[in-house]
Amino acid sequence: MRYPYNISAVRWALAFAINMTRVLALGYEGTQRAVAIPASVTEPSTMFWDPQLIPIISEWSVCDVVKGVTLPSDICSRKIWDPDVALRVNQWAVKEGYIKEPYPESEAKRIWGRGWWKYMPDIAEAILKALGFYKGSDGYWRLPNGTIWKIPLNVPSGFEMDAVQLGYAVAEEWRRFGIQVEVIPYESTTFWTYQFNYGAFSVGSYWGFSGNDPWSTPIFLEGWRCGYVRPIGNYSPNAARYCNPEFDKYVLLAQSYSPVSKESIEATKQALIIFIKDMPVIWMGNCKKLQPILTDYWTNWPAADNFYWGQDFWGKQTVKYVLAHLIPVKAPMDIIKLPIIRIGPGQPLPQWTPPPGVKFVQEPFIPPIYLTPTPTLTPTPTPTPTTPRPSPTPTPTPTPSPTTPKPTPTPTPTPTTLVTGVATITVVVTQSVEKTVISTIAIPSTVLSTIISTISTTVRETEWTTTIVLAVILFIVGLAIGIFIKRK
């Protein structure tokens, strides 16, 4: 990063100088959601990460995040989280006539976000002054060397209007604060490759994170590791040139476990906390698309209240997941293997009669179990496996034969270790010359991570019935061969 944006305290000061309510209302006209947590860009990821991280960051004070400067105690202790941004946008929407009455608080926060950083220009001023910045008599901020602080702010030119709106709205906020800002539009190639990846930019309205799958978060954090940092002028996916070895440690730890494991989730959470505090970029909002759908011929499209997948059809192969859920409106389907076909609210039900045993149900899509942290299941008591009984020993015929051996005692099967989340324990005994006792521990199908443990114990027993039968057969064969040779 270029000076002074390579100082995290400066980045926090710039964040505190932004009125997010104004950005959402005037910059976006209420069409975007405030995003402070990079992993909580959109649903269903917000449903997973917001409940885990917002209780933590809502307790932060100024000096929990602003490092490298000395601030008065009354400033240090100021809380930085604003949970009511959505409620103010809600009132603005009523005043402007976009909605007739305010949404309930939970719905307003689902639409416009569950909070952002407080608008605190006085705190921003205190931070900058502690770093040697100052305001001139003209009301503009100066760098410590006396140069007027001018921010060149990159925005796309003629495409991705979300980023354009954000850039101009934030530029206006910083101008109010006393910083001179020049908004510079760039065409796609220059905006991305040269300015972004090669590091020519200083400040820009760019995309910083993506994904609506909470388990994919460690993968999206990967590109921010120190290993991707390259000198400015060299290509790097880590465009901000951000590097924190502690962050790297938790990202790699999260990737080393199953994405749904408590170890991976906890490591990802720690990486996100470090990431938010360092604020390599100022996370602002998601990138909504207003995408019309035609329901004359197909129904059950993904929507806000039918979110089985996103409508991100551009440049992605994931459209195949959407196609698998679409139901024809007029023409009947030839093959149906589900007893219930769910159609999203507000979308037309099929006009054809389903086959016997199949019915249409109109209801919201219920998020899968993995959208909430996997609960710790109470293991069921482990039943004691039944000790397999040896086959009865047949009485040998009164012919010269070895002493009847006693059958080898059957060892007790190895005790089964309890595994969290175990549902059933099945003991299977396979009858063979070498008997194998198999104890299988399995997780029910509703839990994503499957734990299967197999314990095998070999029990050797002698099958005397089989031995005698083989001896008789060999005797008869030998007798026949002897008679045949004698006749020769």
Q: Kindly indicate the confidence band of residue 465, based on its pLDDT and cuts at 50, 70 and 90.
A: low
The predicted pLDDT at position 408 comes to 46
Which has more confidence, 287 or 227?
227
pLDDT in tens, 161-179: 889 999 999 999 999 999 9
Q: Which of 172-176, 221-225, 432-436, 471-475 shows the lowest mean pLDDT across its residues?
A: 432-436
pLDDT in tens, 23-41: 999 999 998 999 999 888 8
The predicted pLDDT at position 242 comes to 95
- High-pLDDT (> 70) share of the chain, %: 75
pTM attached to this predicted model: 0.70
The predicted pLDDT at position 126 comes to 98
Q: Which of 268-282, 324-338, 418-432 shows the lowest mean pLDDT across its residues?
A: 418-432
Q: Which of 13-22, 241-250, 327-336 shows the lowest mean pLDDT across its residues?
A: 327-336
Which has more confidence, 370 or 157?
157
The predicted pLDDT at position 313 comes to 65
Which has more confidence, 374 or 267?
267
The predicted pLDDT at position 436 comes to 26
Sign of the torsion formed by the C-alpha atoms of 60, 64, 66 and 70: positive
Mean pLDDT of 311-318: 65
The predicted pLDDT at position 458 comes to 30
| Residue whose tokens read 């100021």 | 78
Q: Which residues contact 192 (CB under 8 A, 6 or more apart)?
A: none
Q: Kindly indicate the confidence band of residue 117, based on its pLDDT and cuts at 50, 70 and 90.
A: very high
**CA–CA separation, 108 and 114 (whole Å):** 8
Mean pLDDT of 369-375: 46
Q: What phi, psi does 391 have (nearest 5°)? A: -65, 145
Taking Cα atoms as reference points, which of 18, 34, 203 lies closest to residue 123?
Answer: 18
Which span out of 26-35, 244-253, 475-484 was modeled with the highest average pLDDT? 244-253
**CA–CA separation, 200 and 192 (whole Å):** 10
Q: Kindly indicate the confidence band of residue 307, based on its pLDDT and cuts at 50, 70 and 90.
A: confident
Cβ-contact 285, 24 below 8 angstroms: yes
The predicted pLDDT at position 314 comes to 64
The predicted pLDDT at position 478 comes to 74
Domains annotated for the chain, with CATH where assigned, are: 8-211 (3.10.105), 289-372 (no CATH), 424-487 (no CATH)
Q: Kindly indicate the confidence band of residue 50, based on its pLDDT and cuts at 50, 70 and 90.
A: very high
Mean pLDDT of 64-87: 96
**CA–CA separation, 101 and 81 (whole Å):** 26
Amino acid letter, residue 307: F
| Residue whose tokens read 């006393």 | 178
The predicted pLDDT at position 205 comes to 95
**Does 326 have pLDDT greater than 70?**
yes
For residue 354, cis peptide bond before it (omega within 30 degrees of 0): no
The predicted pLDDT at position 286 comes to 83
Cβ-contact 402, 79 below 8 angstroms: no
**CA–CA separation, 8 and 224 (whole Å):** 16
Which has more confidence, 14 or 471?
14
Mean pLDDT of the chain: 80
Taking Cα atoms as reference points, which of 197, 114, 207 lies closest to residue 156?
Answer: 207
Which has more confidence, 200 or 412?
200
